Structure formats: structure tokens, C-alpha cells
Amino acid sequence: MNILDISKDIIATAQRPLDQAQTLPPQAYTDEAWFTHEAEHILRAGWLCAGHVSQLKQPGATLPLDLLGEPVMLVRGNDDVIRVLSRVCPHRASDLLLGGEATGCHVAGSVLTCPYHHWTFALDGKLMGAPHMQGAVDFNKAEWKLNNIRSAVWEGFIFVNLNDEAPPLETYFADFTAIAAPWQLAEMELVISMDWDCAFNWKVMVENWIESYHHIGPHSKTLNPYMPAQDTWTEPPNGAFVYAHLPMTGRDAAPVREAIASGAPGTGFLPIPGVPVERQGEWNLFVGFPCFMLLLARDRAIWYRLQPISAERCRLTTTTLVSRASLQAPGYAQTLEAETKMLFDFHVEDMQVNEAVQRGLRSRHAVRGRLSQLEEPVWQFHRLLAAQMADFR
Ligand code: FES
Ligand SMILES: [Fe+2]
């Protein structure tokens, strides 16, 4: 299958009604040429979530990140504005970080220094110093800077658009904003963060994140006793995100239901004030297209940051955010430890199935499967993918 065939196939597949829905062609998850196409027209063309404001508290705070081959860094400036700067030095193109994103970024005296010839930059990217350049005729420092990459902050999450073509994030996520507003996500603190190297396609991760049919499989002992697969349901499609509800109707969720009914804090972190009672008794699960994975619960938000790398590889950071008041609650340290373990345990269950899926997709025996009605979120994700691709046929 060439790129055009894969593209036509995805568009045709997404047109099938839910009761006829099937999986995408396996090549959409394994073919490098297709990944390159998708990276250009889906990922760089969309809004990718890179960080949360609580990760950049003070002026001079930085968060480096390699995104689709672009070395970038999130920086809070002296003016308190968060910018996304290219890490590519305008002198001889060195990455400002010798070891890439993993090394972190040292800011001394509000100045970023390139390790190669020590050109220095202000936190907004302007060139401050360039040693021994007096012999370069017409060299004007004001003309040289680190590129500012288009970014936007949505409810405290910092998004990047790598090709300047995405619609304004505010407009794109307008309906999403209305749903998420009660959680006051911009006021939350990111307290758990774990990195994962993933041997699977980015869409395998997104599809696994957004459907809960698999609670009966890998999560049969962890999540299913709280949120049984058969009770999950999905909001009607919209043009920007998928929204699935995971009601806590299971046997093990009885204490949570009682706490909500009586207004007691219950287990876990402190409940977030203002979350409507009808939203408290469920996990509210979202994918903001293309790959912003967010879960909103009574006492926390879970956010998965995705960095697609190649057809069969991505990096993932699994995080949890809680209210500031939670940090002061009695027993916070024990709660944090228990909830970190909970996030780790159920994510390991997902890692194993995702790797198993990728091995299957690579096989010559991979077939086009049919979807359950419980996989409506996957069907909706495919429709968003197809709608975006239809513009590039
Ligand atoms: S490459 Fe950055 S100073 Fe030379
Ligand atoms: Fe899962």
C-alpha cells in the first residue's frame, strides 16, 4: 500500500457507521513513509501539548523537549510570559543542549548560553552576546535570535503548533474549555511524572487511552471493578475532541459513591471544589485531537504527554495533577505514594497490550478487525483523523 492508498482507505473506513466500524489498515501503524506524511499533515499541523504551567513556576524556568525532530524548550521569561523557543543556535545550528532534552537546561543570570561558541540569548530568544564577531561586516546582533515557535496556553497546558497552520487553540477547543473549566486546571500542581519509551505507534497509544472496552482484559483486577467496561459511554462526535464517560458503577467503587453522596472527601487527593456532582462519580476521559490525552476525576487530572518518534516508536510521560490544597492535606505523602503506584500499575498493563498490538500489526497475518459499540471513541478518533487527512489528498 502506498501513501495515497492508506489515506483513501482511512477516509473510507471512517465513513462507515459505528455498527459497521472496523480498524484502520495495519500499515497506518507500521509504515515509515506513512508516518512521515502523518507527522507533516496531522501532528505538525495540530496543537501538541508540551507542558503545564506548574512545571515553569519562576522566570528562568525551562522545560526542554524534542518534538517530531524539533529541539525546543519552554521558557518562562522575566516578563512572566511562557514562550516556546527553538533550541537551534542561529550561529552554526548547534542544539543549545549538548545531550538533547534529557540533559535539562541551565539558565545563569537570565541568559541561555550555546555550548559551542558561547553566544548568549535572553529568555525571549534575543541574541545578547556573540564573542569575537567584530570582523564580520554588517553583523547586527538584533537580526539574530532563537526562533519563537507558535504556542498557546489552554487551561494551564502549554501547546505548540509546529507549522503555524492550526486554527487558534482558543477557538478549536472552545467547547472543551466549557467542560474542563470547573477543574481549574491552570491552578493545579503536577505532582507525578513518569517517562516511558514505547515500542508502538502513537495511535496505538491514543486508541488504548480513549476506549474502555479493554477494562475487561488488562484492567480486569484494577480498573474494571470500579468502572466496568459495559457502563462506559461516549458523547456525540464534535470536530476537535473525543469525550468518554467512565461511571464508577462497579462493586469496588461503593465507598467512593458513598463519599460523593455525603460530600465527604473520600480516598485519594482532596476533591476539587466546583466539580459538578454528576461529574464526580466518573472518570471523564478525553483526546483533544490529535493526541492530547486528559482524564478529569473528582480529585485529580491525569495527563499523558506524547512524543511520536517514528512509525513504531513514541515517548510518553504519564502525569498526575492535583489541587494546591491537596499538597497540605493530612497524609499527603502516603496518598502520593499510593496514587503513584496506582498510575504505574495500570499503565504497565496498558504498555503490555500496546506492545502486543504493535507486534500483531507488523505481522503478515494482521487483519481488519470489527469494533464493539464500546469502542465508539476509537471510531470517533478515526473520523477526526480522516477529516484532517481529507484536506491533504
Ligand atoms: S553554534 Fe552556537 S555559538 Fe556557535
Ligand atoms: Fe488501559
Boundary of a domain, candidates 131, 153, 175: 153
Least confident of 265-269, 281-285, 336-340: 265-269
Of the listed ligands, the closest to the CA of 121 is 1
Quick check: is 87 in a domain?
yes
Which protein residue's CA is at the shortest distance from atom 4 of ligand 1? Answer: 117
Q: State which ligand 1 atom lies nearest to the alpha carbon of 114.
A: 2
Quick check: is 161 in a domain?
no
Least confident of 123-127, 255-259, 265-269, 306-310: 265-269
Inter-residue contact 254 to 287 (CB < 8 Å): no
Q: Looking at the structure, do residues 64 and 181 belong to the same domain, yes or no?
A: no
Unique residue bearing C-alpha cell 490544597: 325
Alpha-carbon span 33 to 228, nearest angstrom: 39
Inter-residue contact 21 to 370 (CB < 8 Å): yes
Range list of H helices, 146-295: 169-172, 174-180, 202-210, 254-262, 277-280
How much is the average pLDDT of 190-215? 98
Give the range of the structural domain holding residue 55, as residue numbers without chain letter. Answer: 49-153
Is-cis flag, bond preceding 290, omega within 30? Answer: yes
Of the listed ligands, the closest to the CA of 98 is 1
pLDDT at 348 over 90: yes
> What pLDDT shows up at residue 385?
97
Q: Looking at the structure, do residues 277 and 331 belong to the same domain, yes or no?
A: yes
- Mean pLDDT rounded to a whole number for the chain: 96
Q: Looking at the structure, do residues 93 and 180 belong to the same domain, yes or no?
A: no
Split into its structural domains, the chain has a count of: 2
Quick check: is 159 in a domain?
no
Which has more confidence, 105 or 137? 137
pLDDT at 373 over 60: yes
Q: Looking at the structure, do residues 330 and 386 belong to the same domain, yes or no?
A: yes
User: Taking CB atoms and a 6 Å cutoff, what residues make up the pocket around ligand 1?
Assistant: 89, 91-92, 94, 114, 116-117, 119
pLDDT at 371 over 70: yes
Boundary of a domain, candidates 153, 179, 194: 153
We report the CATH number of the domain holding residue 143 as 2.102.10.10
Q: Looking at the structure, do residues 184 and 327 belong to the same domain, yes or no?
A: yes
Q: Looking at the structure, do residues 23 and 79 belong to the same domain, yes or no?
A: no
Inter-residue contact 291 to 242 (CB < 8 Å): no
Quick check: is 99 in a domain?
yes
Ligand 2 center from residue 196 Cα (angstroms): 15
Quick check: is 160 in a domain?
no
Q: Looking at the structure, do residues 186 and 331 belong to the same domain, yes or no?
A: yes
Q: State which ligand 1 atom lies nearest to the alpha carbon of 130.
A: 3
Q: Looking at the structure, do residues 350 and 279 belong to the same domain, yes or no?
A: yes
Which protein residue's CA is at the shortest distance from atom 3 of ligand 1? Answer: 117
The pTM of this model reads 0.97
Q: Looking at the structure, do residues 276 and 330 belong to the same domain, yes or no?
A: yes
Q: Looking at the structure, do residues 31 and 54 belong to the same domain, yes or no?
A: no
Quick check: is 314 in a domain?
yes
Q: Looking at the structure, do residues 87 and 43 belong to the same domain, yes or no?
A: no
Ligand 1 center from residue 339 Cα (angstroms): 44
We report the CATH number of the domain holding residue 350 as 3.90.380.10
Q: Looking at the structure, do residues 342 and 248 belong to the same domain, yes or no?
A: yes
Q: How confident is the model at residue 392 (pLDDT cuts 50, 70, 90)?
A: low
Boundary of a domain, candidates 104, 129, 153: 153
Quick check: is 158 in a domain?
no
How much is the average pLDDT of 163-187? 97
Alpha-carbon span 281 to 299, nearest angstrom: 11
How much is the average pLDDT of 323-330? 96
Beta-strand (E) ranges in 176-299?
Answer: 189-198, 233-234, 241-247, 282-288, 292-296
Ligand 2 center from residue 217 Cα (angstroms): 9
Span 58-114, pLDDT tens digits: 999 999 999 999 999 999 999 999 999 999 999 999 999 998 888 877 788 889 999
> What pLDDT shows up at residue 146?
98
Inter-residue contact 229 to 285 (CB < 8 Å): no
